[in-house]
Amino acid sequence: MTAASTTVEPVIPAEVEYRPAPKKPKRKLSDILLATYTGLVIAYLLIPIAVMILYSFNSNAASGTAVTPKVSFRWQGFTVEWWKQWNAVPDLTSSLWNSLYIAVISTIVATFLGTLIALALVRYHFRGSGTTETVMFMNIAAPEIVLGAALLSFFVLLRFPMGLLSIFVAHVMFNIAFVAIVVRARLSGFHREIEEAAQDLYANAWVTFYKVTLPLIWPGILAGGLLAFALSIDDFVTTNFVAGQTVTFPLWVYGAVKVGIPPQVFVMGTSIFLAGLVIAIINVIAARRRNEVRQATEDSSA
């Protein structure tokens, strides 16, 4: 008896197809132009701010304790003396306090009124709502010199005293429209079902607004308030029409350009910029934390 022998043919591996390494796509001319344009815009926005911050530390005087009446754009050394003497120019200090006082008060009032207008326009349909929207957009689109001249004529007609109060009224007037537009954009994606769910859980109208509505629209309110503050503190054209004998920070700087700007102007400008930057960073961090908490809540409930 013989055993049948079987032959096993060796398995020849298939030839590995040679594939060249993928080449990096060439950058298009449009991408290069877009990157260049973006860099130029960023530089255009940041270079003046960088110059302001840099020259607030420039030693303009031979003596470190002397207050020079004029900024020299020739770099003469690093010093922090101007930061120590930030209030050495009395008129400049008082004008800064005027600007801060008007900006804070007008921002609070304009944010409150603008938020109420935005809520009314989004949630209710009433006679005159279309006219209200048109007036707000006209207020934003109109040249500032037109608003200033119109307010001046209105105040003169009413014999309204020119000063801090007239500046306050003017700033509230043009800030309301900006706040209302920003808050309205936030409310456009708001779902009323959330409020209805809160009311189904026996929450009254005030509790629903305080616990549900306000936290959801707060980023829009804060953004509108910050925008109103920025527009108010650096406004020149409208303020110049209605200020009377009152001098704000932009008006003082404009008048000082003719005789020489003291270095304290750069110090105050840098302080205002840094304060706004810190507030913006805090707002971004808080928004991210809220999103993380919301995402964690959704993941746990899923």
The predicted structure's pLDDT at residue 105: 95
CATH at residue 99: 1.10.3720.10
Tell me which of 155 and 63 has the higher pLDDT: 155
Tell me what percent of the residues of the chain surpass a pLDDT of 70. Answer: 85
CA dihedral 216, 217, 219, 225 (to 10 degrees): -150
User: Is 80 exceeded by the pLDDT of residue 1?
Assistant: no
Q: Looking at the DSSP assignment, which residues form a beta bridge with residue 58?
A: 78
Quick check: 163 and 243 in contact, CB under 8 A? Answer: yes
Q: Provide the residue range defining the domain that includes 239.
A: 90-261
Instruction: Give the integer Cα–Cα distance in Å for 198 and 209.
Output: 10
Instruction: Give the integer Cα–Cα distance in Å for 173 and 177.
Output: 8
Which of 1-10, 202-211, 268-277 is predicted least confidently? 1-10
pTM for the full predicted model: 0.76
Mean pLDDT of 170-182: 91
Please tell me the total count of domains within the chain.
1
Beta strands in 94-218 (DSSP E): none
Mean pLDDT of 249-267: 84
| 184, part of any domain | yes
| 10, part of any domain | no
| 126, part of any domain | yes
pLDDT digits (tens, 9 = 90+) for 204-243: 878 888 888 888 888 888 889 988 998 998 899 999 999 8
| 282, part of any domain | no
